[in-house]
Amino acid sequence: MKTFLLSTALLLGVFSAHAAIQSKTIDYMQGDTPLEGVLVWDDAVTGPRPGVLVVHQWLGLTAYEKHRAEMLAQLGYVAFCADIYGKGVRPKDTSEAGALAGKYKGDRQLLRARVNAGLDELKKSELVDASRIAAIGYCFGGTTVIELARSGADIKGVVSFHGGLDSPTPADGKNIKTKVLALAGADDPFQKPEDLTAFESEMRDAKVDWRLIFYGGAVHSFTQPDPGFSNPGAKYNERADKRSWADMKQFFAEIFQ
Amino acid sequence: MKTFLLSTALLLGVFSAHAAIQSKTIDYMQGDTPLEGVLVWDDAVTGPRPGVLVVHQWLGLTAYEKHRAEMLAQLGYVAFCADIYGKGVRPKDTSEAGALAGKYKGDRQLLRARVNAGLDELKKSELVDASRIAAIGYCFGGTTVIELARSGADIKGVVSFHGGLDSPTPADGKNIKTKVLALAGADDPFQKPEDLTAFESEMRDAKVDWRLIFYGGAVHSFTQPDPGFSNPGAKYNERADKRSWADMKQFFAEIFQ
């Protein structure tokens, strides 16, 4: 049976195109805080290539982000799953997740420091062309990559998947050097209209190169098969998942050209 | 000089890839009203192919739409530039254009009849795979293709470029069978926030398969080098033009697969 499956896989070319997706756990620091991320790449690709930082949702760095990193590696990028919460800090339930996400959303300077530590780690990799870097993030991570932009990070672009777009310091929009793509569920009840309006004003006032896409019929967490809690306002949506991934790829094609 | 230009063109491959873009003026009728459209295709493509209806902006059918149709033909589609106003009815200035656009926006049933006449004409072409049809439109035409959707047209998709999205009869959203992609300038002063909100509600209530993209920094008419009038709120934006065209192509790849 195993042989049959392997033969079928080879026939289908499953292993042939991306035979060697590799991953490595990486310990790194932000100040005195130990962090633990994961670097993922395709060994069949040679030479430096664009790097993509992947920032986790409120449950911390899970198998979900590693899976996205593998998908990015299959596209030929080097992906680094950043750790915002700290090594071993992996919330066991949504109560802990909410407290942790709240802590970092309430301390944007710390959040920026943490995500920049991940960016530095990605840039260090010999596999990466450090002049071609982007960052993507989901939910809490979608907020975080916008904060990365607001911190003035000199990268090519950030993509926020159903991230909160609010800012306690909208004037920081003026620091943004990178292109911004925000992807939102048109029916996301966690996305407050006033936050959207404030985000648009922030981008406009700072003359940022930005885009915002609303996916009809999609609520919060539309890319996540398991959003971590049961709520009709947070649900996987295959159509919006596929489209948002395609929109991200098109964005990368533009910024990495 | 002519020979030199021709040689240069050949060297650049201008003629090689799409050697035979053809166009034909077509007379057709809606009720008792004669209309005059233009069919454009690439003669190098064989067999039936997807068809794209192109609906003009407020100045009527101009060289602008024909150019877009040529771009579509170069992508392998058959394009038909519809005529909404009537044969020979080509506004000579913005005053006439405003009156005509206002007339049809004020009579949505007539507008739907006119655009459906164009759709029927496109479907008639032997070059077209009538099971794979889309419609795109600019400004007034962007409104019109949404009305085409609201009329219940059984096509694969519509793309509205900086079109007004308002509806006097939002309940008609329930007639929509086709996918909707609305592309808007994030700084378009002609797009009223209440119209956007109403459009979103219409799409949501009718469970339409829809998407809305906002291009940062873009105002009205962002795809048109000559919007027909001088107004800081209506201006060409190369970045948004290129991105919206790429977004349309991605949409076509999805709906025509």
CA B26 to each of CA B39, B80, B100, B137, B140: distance values in angstroms, whole numbers, following the listed order: 7, 9, 22, 19, 22
pLDDT for res B1: 40
pLDDT tens readout for residues B54-73: 999 999 999 999 999 999 99
Of A186, A200, A215, which is closest to B186 when you measure between CB atoms?
Answer: A200
Tell me: pLDDT of B3 over 70.
no
Note whether A198 contacts B: Cβ–Cβ < 8 A: no
pLDDT band at A71 (very low <50, low <70, confident <90, very high): very high
pLDDT, tens only, A120-155: 999 999 999 999 999 999 999 999 999 999 999 999
Predicted TM-score (pTM) of this structure? 0.92
- Report the distance separating Cα B196 and Cα B27, nearest Å: 36
- Sign, Cα dihedral of B224, B229, B230, B231: negative
Measured between CA atoms, how close is B105 to chain A, in angstroms? Answer: 25
Chain A touched by B8 (CB under 8 Å)? no
Residues of chain B with C-beta less than 8 angstroms from the C-beta of A245: none
SS3 B134: strand
The set of residues, in sequence order, having a beta carbon less than 8 Å from that of B7 and lying 6+ positions away, is none
Q: What is the pLDDT of residue A230?
A: 86
ipTM attached to this prediction = 0.91
**What's the residue count for chain A?**
257
Which percentage of chain A shows pLDDT scores above 70? 93
Q: In chain A, whose CA is at the least distance from the CA of B185?
A: A211
| pLDDT at site A19 | 64
